[in-house]
Chain A
Amino acid sequence: MSSSKMPGWKSLPIGAAIINPPTSLEYKTGTWRTFRPVIDQEKCVRCRLCWAYCPDGAVMELEKEYVTKSGRKYSITYEINYEYCKGCGVCARECPVKAITMVEEGG
């Protein structure tokens, strides 16, 4: 942010309190990533562990139906939010069915 765009002290709230949380969503931590987790929706058993273990809340739990090739129907789908995923790989390591693989970015 250049200095000309910075707000002056008169326009800031008292104590510089942040009155419109959560503003951290403006900061995309996805740029930190070197490896990208990719979920194989065919293998995924919807155990919710990746969602629970993600330190960044970057695993999204979506109300989206998915039917596997073998005909199994799931009412929810897990997807990675690549805007915020820092690529730590906890989800890939903890996935009990190894449905998540880490793929190198830009490779």
Chain B
Amino acid sequence: MPVSIRDIPREEYLVSGHRLCPGCGAGIIMRHLVKAAGKNTIMVVATGCLEVSTTYYPHTAWKIPWIHVAFENAASAASGIEAAIKALKRKGIIDPKKDIKVIAVGGDGGTFDIGFQALSGMLERGHDVLYLVYDNEAYMNTGIQRSGSTPLGAWTTTTPIGKKWRLGEWRPKYRKEMLFVAMAHNIPYYATVNPAYITDMYNKFKKALSIKGPKLIHAFSPCIPGWRMREDLTIQVGRMAVLTGVWVNLEYENGVVRVTTPVPKRKPVKEYLKLQGRFRHLTDEDIALIQKAVDEYVARINKIVGKEVIGPVES
């Protein structure tokens, strides 16, 4: 049941007054996530930008039950909450027919690196939880340190740029790929979402929440201070990431990978890089190397899907 932008409910569960940066991508993602989930939802949020800026004591921007846990255990706490709800339903303390959704949210640091073990456990035990990772490609809350999802060539405070280190030779590949993590755990649903594609994102949230079992959603979340870009470029950068093949909107369901935003002709990756100050130091040779890494990633996705959904670079 794909919905259009008109069908997104007006009711807000993440209200104004939160302290996320102007133009933050996570704000857009979270607003639509809680709209899709509705009011019978328990949020478990790991430490990160979203946690510190939406619940600035004594203020909270959430209208739904919300709990903050440490970096490493958002998935574990969500598993426990889901198990507790099951037990309370069995004992008849909560109406067994009541549909209560549990959503865990972590940043890329709290998911790709620190919380990876807990996430793996949650996926493997099969808890009925939706785990959403909003990926701003570094530890932005603590001051832009590199994480497991920092792309090739990006500047961060722990990967400084000098004469010798230009591309980040510490890291040969593009980034850790969550799709293969999801496939390895054989979970019922995995999707990547991008705030520039609102209806696609909302549909995936709705679909994920209707499926029973562990679900993982990987969201592209542009970061204004960390990516060194203008405040109004959030959506532009998100769209450009899809059009250049850096980011692929896809979903993995019942063992089948489907690309939801096919790109017949890709733009050169330079179009995406030039919008962001964190890639300012790159020379044409460096960009050629990044282009090669993106080509390899796209070829890998095309191979899994079985046809050319992401086309060649337009000349």
Contacts and interface: CB of A to CB of B under 8 A. Distances in A.
A9 interface: no
Interface in B118-146: none
A22 B235 contact: no
B61 A22 contact: yes
Contacts, number: 114
A90 B62 contact: no
B57 interface: yes
Interface of A is mostly: loop
Contacts of B230: 89
Given A48-B5, A53-B195, A23 B58 contact: yes
Interface size class of B (residues with CB under 8 A): 35 or more
B20 interface: yes
B16 A29 contact: yes
A25 B5 contact: no
Given A24-B15, A94-B235, A52 B5 contact: yes
B54 A53 contact: no
A7 to B, nearest CB: 8
B198 interface: yes
14 contacts: A22-B15, A23-B59, A24-B17, A26-B59, A27-B19, A29-B18, A33-B22, A47-B5, A48-B6, A53-B28, A53-B195, A53-B235, A56-B16, A56-B22
Given A25-B15, A48-B6, 18 more contacts: A18-B58, A21-B60, A24-B18, A24-B56, A27-B19, A29-B17, A29-B18, A52-B8, A52-B198, A53-B234, A55-B234, A56-B16, A56-B22, A57-B31, A87-B22, A89-B230, A90-B232, A92-B232
